[in-house]
C-alpha cells in the first residue's frame, strides 16, 4: 500500500551524496502512519491507498519524512547530536506542511489525476456494449470471428 516511490524520496536527496536505491517499506509505513494520523483529524485518509489516489502534497509529506529518516540514518555517526542536519530540515518541512494543511493555509488539492482509475488495481476491458460494436461493424465480413461460448 505504498503511496510513494524511490523517485519521490530521491528528489529531496539530490543535493546530497546519498543515493537511495530501494524504498524501505518499514520507513514508508511509519511515515505514512505519522502523516495520516495527523491529517485524519481533518480528512478521510482511508481512500489514500496508492500513488494515483493520494494528493500530491500528502505524497510529498510522506517522502520528506522518509528522506529525512534515511539521511539521518546514513550520517548519524558523522554529526554530533546537537547539530541540525539536512534530515532535520526535511522533517521540519514535512511537519510544517502538515501544520499548514491543518490550519487551512495549504490546500491539499485533488489526487494526481482524478479522471484516471487507480493504476494499482486491475482494469477490465472491453466495456463497449454489444449495440455499440454492432453499430461500428455493419458489413458482414467485418463481423467478429469468435465470440464467448463459441465451440471450435
Q: Given this model, what pLDDT does residue 131 score? A: 55
Each domain of the chain, given as residue ranges in start order, spans 6-102
What is residue 144's predicted lDDT score, i.e. its pLDDT? 60
**What would the pLDDT profile of 18-37 be if each residue is shown by its tens digit?**
888 888 899 999 999 999 99
Burial class (CB in 10 A: 0-12, 13-18, 19+), 122: exposed
> Considering the entire predicted model, what is its pTM?
0.68
Number of Cβ within 10 Å of residue 30's Cβ equals 15
Q: What is the pLDDT of residue 100?
A: 93
Give residue 115's pLDDT: 45
The CA-atom distances, in angstroms, between 113 and each of 39, 121, 124 are 21, 15, 19
Helix axes 86-102, 56-75, angle to 10 degrees: 160
**More reliable by pLDDT, 124 or 38:** 38
* Structure-block grid coordinates of residue 6: 524511490
pLDDT > 80? residue 57: yes
Band (134; pLDDT cuts 50, 70, 90): low
pLDDT digit string, tens, across residues 7-20: 999 998 887 778 88
Amino acid at each position: 500500500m505504498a503511496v510513494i516511490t524511490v523517485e519521490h524520496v530521491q528528489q529531496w536527496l539530490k543535493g546530497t551524496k546519498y543515493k537511495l536505491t530501494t524504498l524501505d517499506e518499514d520507513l514508508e509505513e511509519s511515515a505514512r502512519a505519522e502523516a495520516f494520523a495527523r491529517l485524519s483529524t481533518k480528512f478521510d485518509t482511508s481512500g489514500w491507498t496508492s500513488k494515483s489516489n493520494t494528493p500530491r502534497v500528502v505524497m510529498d509529506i510522506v517522502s520528506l519524512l522518509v528522506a529525512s529518516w534515511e539521511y539521518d540514518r546514513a550520517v548519524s555517526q558523522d554529526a554530533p547530536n546537537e547539530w541540525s542536519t539536512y534530515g532535520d530540515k526535511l522533517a521540519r518541512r514535512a511537519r510544517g506542511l502538515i501544520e499548514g494543511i491543518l490550519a487551512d493555509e495549504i490546500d491539499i488539492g485533488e489526487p494526481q489525476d482524478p479522471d484516471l482509475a487507480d493504476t494499482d488495481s486491475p482494469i477490465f476491458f472491453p466495456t463497449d456494449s454489444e449495440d455499440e460494436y454492432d453499430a461500428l461493424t455493419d458489413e458482414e465480413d467485418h463481423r467478429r470471428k469468435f465470440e464467448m461460448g463459441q465451440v471450435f
